[in-house]
Each structure stands twice: as C-alpha cells, then as structure tokens.
Amino acid sequence: MNRITKTITLLLIFLCISCNQKKSDNTYLANYINSVKVDNSLTENPLLVIDGYAVEYETMNDGWFLLLEEDISKVEYLKKENTVNIYGEKGKNGVVLLTTKLKEREIANTKSDKKTLYVLDGEIISVDEYKKIDQSKIIGIGTITEPSAIKEFTSDNYDELIYISTKMPTE
C-alpha cells in the first residue's frame, strides 16, 4: 500500500470512530441530576421542584420541557432524609430545587419600590381587594404609567396604575 492510501485509510478509521461515539443528549439539568445521583449514591429518581412546582423526574426526559443552562439561576439538592417531612412520599428519593432566571426577575419586580394604585371599574381599591378579585369575572387589565393619566384618579404620587375591568362600560 502506498503512503496516500494508508493516510486515507487512517483518516477514514478515525472519522468512523468519532462518528460512532455516543453523543450525550442530556441537558444541563439532566447532567446535574446524574452527578447528584453519583455523588450521593442514588439509584432512584429525585423529585424536581422547578420554581415551586413539583415535577416527576421521569417526565424530564419526555421532552415536554427544555431548560437551558442560561435559563437556570440556582440548583440545589436536598437529601432524602430531610425531604419526606416537606414533600411527603414524593420526596422519598431526595429533591432537586431549581430556580429559573425568569422567576428570579418576577420576585425582584414584586419587591420593587414602585407605588401602585389599583382601580376596579373606576373605583380605587386596595392591594388586598385586588388579590381577592374573581379572575373569571375580569374582562381586561391595563397598566398606566403616564403621570397625567394617573392624576385623573388621585392627587397622590403613584408610579403606575393598574386598571381592572369586570363589566362592560355603560353609555
């Protein structure tokens, strides 16, 4: 065999070997959970709690949700000894707590120093009254940040006005 044939043959062998290697299709979250399993000698599947919502580990691989590493803010593992009291039987294999960046932003927005005025069908209401509104009766919600429009409802200084409509306006 001449030198060119040997080189091409070696190149094809390396190419075939590299193509046949099993590529990992695991996501960041799956890799983290697998590492927790190894580090803590787990054989069962832990409960996933994503932004406060419990999800069975088996469904993670069904492809119904995809979390990229850049979407995840924080991931922690709670050992199974501590989780049965909190999560009951579902937590018997341990719990992986996950916080997304979206949830973190949501929390930051609720803690902001914005002063908000709530108006229901033209009447000013409190935050507690706003939280008690039957969601099925709401026709529309709008946020107003224009100071001149807010001044139509109150003389106090507010950063935003949340207007909730539960009935059609009458003429």
pLDDT of residue 24: 43
Q: What are phi and psi of 12, to 5 degrees?
A: -65, -35
CA-closest candidate to residue 75, choices 53, 95, 55:
95
Rounded CA-CA distance 4/25 in Å is 36
Domain positions in the chain: 28-166
The mean pLDDT value of the chain amounts to: 76
- In degrees, rounded to 5, the angle at the alpha carbon of residue 34 between the alpha carbons of residues 29 and 39 is 125
Lowest mean pLDDT among 44-48, 57-61, 73-77, 121-125: 57-61
Give the mean pLDDT of 32-40: 73
Going across the sheet that includes 53-55, the strands are 53-55, 47-50, 95-100, 72-78
pLDDT of residue 111: 62
Give the mean pLDDT of 158-164: 89
The residue that leads in pLDDT, 139 or 63, is: 139
pLDDT in tens, 78-113: 877 777 777 788 888 888 888 888 777 777 766 667
Bridge partners for 49 per DSSP: 54, 97
Give the β-pairing of 140-144 and 160-165: antiparallel
pLDDT in tens, 40-66: 656 577 888 888 888 776 666 555 456
Q: Within a 10 A sphere around the Cβ of 49, how many other Cβ atoms?
A: 21
Lowest mean pLDDT among 63-67, 76-80, 125-129, 152-156: 63-67
